[in-house]
Amino acid sequence: MASKTTVEQRESAVPVQNDPDILNAAARLAGEDLCSIADLSSAEVRAILKLGHHVKRDPRAYRNALDAKQMVLMFEKASLRTRLSFEAGFSTLGGNAIFVDHTSSPLGERESIADVARNVERWVDIIVLRTYAHDTITEMAARARVPVVNALSDFEHPCQALADFMTLEEHFGSVTGLNFTYVGDGNNVCHSLMMTGAQLGANVTVATPRGYSPDIEIVTKAREIAEANGCEVKLLQDPQVAVENADAVYTDVCVSMGMEHESTKRAPIFRPFQVNEALMGKARENAVFMHCLPARRNAEVTDAVLDGPQSIVFDQAENRMHAQKALLLLLLGGLSNVKNFSF
C-alpha cells in the first residue's frame, strides 16, 4: 500500500495554484449546483480532490477565503458526519453556517419549495440539503439563484463519494486502474461511488442480491463515463467473486433511513453479503475496507473488519470536511480570496 506522502509528492510537481484542472474548475463551477456526480466532468472531480488534499495540508492558506459568506443546512434526515463536517469546514474558511432542522417537517410541506428558495436565496450564499426525495434537491436547485449542494438524497450522496476517493488517493497515490468493489445494497451511496470511480478511471465492481441492483440509469451513465476513461463498471450477484483482486472493499447498511420497515425482510437476504475477515481475505493483501458510516456492527460488517488494520473508515469521515471545503471554495469563488491564486 502506498504511503500518504504519495499524493503530496505527486502534487508538489505542479503547484496547486497553477494546476489547470483547478483553475478551469474554479471558472466553470462558480455559482453552480452539485445535485449529482454527473454534474461534474472528470477534470472537475480531479480538481476537487486535488484542492481537497491541499486544503487538508495547508488549512491556514484558506482561512478567510469565504469571509462573511452564509451557508444554510436544511436537513430532513438525522446526521453526525455531514452536519459537523460542513459546519466545521465552512467556519474554518471564514463563513457562517446556519442549521435548519426539517426532520419533523419535510421541505415543501409547510410552504412550497419554490417559496422557500425565493426567501432563502436572499439571505444566504449557498444551500446544503439532506433530504429523502431527490426531486426536493433538483427543484430547489432549479428555483434558487444561489448554489445548491446535495448532502444526501435517496438517489445520491455525492459529497460522500468525493471524500471516499480522496481517501483512496491518500492511500494509493492514484486511483486510475484501482479495483474498487462495493458489496451490499445498490443504494444512493453506491450510485455516487460508481460514477465517481468511473470519472477517475477506477474499475468498479458492484455486488448486490438479486432485486437490489443499482438504478439502471445510473449504471448506464457510469458505464458511459467509464468507457471514456478506459475503465469498467461491472455488476455481480456473488460477493465472493466480486472481491477477488479488490484493492478496496466498500459496504453500507442494507436498510437506509426511511426504509426501516424492510429490516426483517432484508436481513436474511443480505446476510451472505456481510464483509467479514473471510471475505476480506479474498481481496488483495493490502486491500482497504471502507464504510460511509454509521455502521450496523456485526450486520453488514463485523467488528473485526471495521476496527481492523485494513479499515480506513475514520479517514473517510475526516475527509468529508476537506473534500467539502474544496467543493465550497469552487462553488462560491473562494479561491479568488486566496493568496497566490490568479484568474
Question: What are the catalytic residues?
Answer: 130, 157, 160, 252, 292, 320
Q: How far is residue 270 CA from its own chain's centroid?
A: 23
The whole-angstrom separation of Cα 82 and Cα 321 is 8
Contacts for 115 with CB less than 8 Å, ≥ 6 apart: none
Locate 145 and state its grid cell: 439563484
Q: Are strands 179-183 and 203-207 parallel, antiparallel or unpaired?
A: parallel
Phi, psi of 128 (to 5 degrees): -115, 120
∠ CA(136), CA(107), CA(41), 5° rounding?
30
Number of alpha helices (DSSP H) and beta strands (DSSP E) in the chain: 14, 9
First and final CA of the chain: distance in angstroms? 37
Q: What's the half-sphere exposure (Cβ side, CA atoms, 13 Å) at 230?
A: 4
| Secondary structure, 3-state, 96-139 | EEEEEECCCCCCCCCCCHHHHHHHHCCCCCEEEEECCCHHHHHH
In the block, residue with C-alpha cell 442494507: 254
